[in-house]
């Protein structure tokens, strides 16, 4: 668990350094200031409103406390074990089996389950999934991944600025070939590096949520079994509506489980996650 925390810190530090370096290269102190303003602004918006946006996007409704009595009971049990306030519980009207957690902090968190996941998982498997999601809340992963996504977005924005600078003046000075090469690297390479770092952070937090969730529920094999079922379900019935940018919120990528390169995935390989969980001792 500590290794994943250290890895996340290092990756975010590299991503932040990359952003600040690009800002400095593109516009000196002014460029650096612009990058910081964008990072703070976007982070602020996403920090306060991301959970409302994603719930609206997937037409989630607050779960009925009578109809979903057992779901509420399980969420309350896990929240108590995790020593955090109980999140609000939502249901997503989708037959795909999946779940996610969101919210700016433990006091303002939500946990959402699809209708499909309620039908195919056993109580112990569902408990494992909910423990994973509540671990995201406890570990403040929503904030961490939002910061990573925002910084990566700022880097892409700055790269686009550099591209326009090249078009309207960067290539007019034949004696400035070194700067042109630097700008080409900025435009082409840095957004790719930023995206890879962002995906690595997301995968690291998934491993951490698996581990901490399994310790909370004291049943790693329950979560392992659930992941196997959910993986098969996503392969058979990937979501056709939604935003790929929200994929990292779900316990498994809801859009497609096929043909995704490991480095470009928001989630670690399911087989590796299951293997680690089955080897855990709690």
**Three-state DSSP class for 192?**
helix
Q: Are 38 and 147 in contact (CB under 8 A)?
A: no
**Three-state DSSP class for 202?**
helix
Q: Is the dihedral of CA 42, 43, 48, 51 positive or negative?
A: positive
Burial class (CB within 10 angstroms; exposed 0-12, middle 13-18, buried 19+) of 232? middle
Q: Are 220 and 278 in contact (CB under 8 A)?
A: yes
Q: 168: alpha, beta or left, given left = phi > 0 and alpha = psi -120 to 50? A: alpha
Q: Are 156 and 45 in contact (CB under 8 A)?
A: no
CA distance 66 to 281: 36
Rounded to 5 degrees, what are φ and ψ at 89? -115, 130
**Exposure class string for 112-137: b at 16+ Cβ within 10 A, else e:** bbbebbbeebeeebbbbbbbbbbbbb
Pairing of strands 109-114, 88-92: parallel
The catalytic position among 133, 206, 272, 279 is 133
Q: Are 34 and 22 in contact (CB under 8 A)?
A: no
Told to judge if 133 belongs to the known catalytic residues of this protein, a careful annotator would answer: yes
**Catalytic residue numbers, as ranges:** 133
């Amino acid at each position: 668990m500590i290794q994943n925390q250290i890895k996340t810190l290092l990756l975010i530090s590299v991503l932040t350094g990359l952003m600040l370096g690009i800002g400095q290269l593109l516009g000196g102190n002014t460029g650096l200031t612009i990058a910081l303003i964008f990072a703070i602004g976007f982070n602020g918006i996403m920090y306060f409103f991301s959970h409302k946006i994603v719930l609206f996007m997937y037409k989630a409704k607050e779960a009925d406390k009578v109809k979903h009595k057992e779901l509420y009971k399980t969420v309350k049990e896990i929240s108590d074990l995790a020593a955090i306030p109980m999140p609000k519980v939502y249901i997503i009207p989708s037959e795909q089996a999946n779940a996610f957690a969101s919210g700016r902090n433990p006091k303002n968190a939500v946990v959402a389950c699809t209708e499909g996941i309620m039908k195919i998982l056993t109580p112990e498997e569902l408990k494992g999934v909910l423990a994973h999601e509540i671990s995201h809340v406890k570990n403040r992963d929503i904030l961490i991944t939002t910061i990573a996504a925002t910084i990566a977005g700022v880097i892409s924005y700055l790269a686009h600025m550099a591209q326009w600078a090249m078009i309207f003046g960067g290539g007019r000075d034949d004696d400035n070939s070194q700067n042109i090469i630097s700008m080409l690297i900025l435009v082409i390479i840095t957004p790719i590096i930023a995206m890879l770092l962002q995906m690595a952070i997301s995968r690291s937090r998934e491993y951490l949520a698996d581990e901490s969730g399994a310790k909370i529920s004291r049943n790693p094999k329950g979560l392992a079994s659930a992941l196997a079922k959910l993986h098969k379900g996503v392969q058979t019935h990937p979501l056709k509506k939604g935003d790929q940018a929200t994929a990292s919120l779900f316990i498994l990528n809801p859009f497609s489980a096929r043909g995704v390169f490991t480095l470009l995935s928001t989630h670690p390989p399911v087989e590796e996650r299951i293997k680690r969980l089955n080897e855990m001792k709690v």
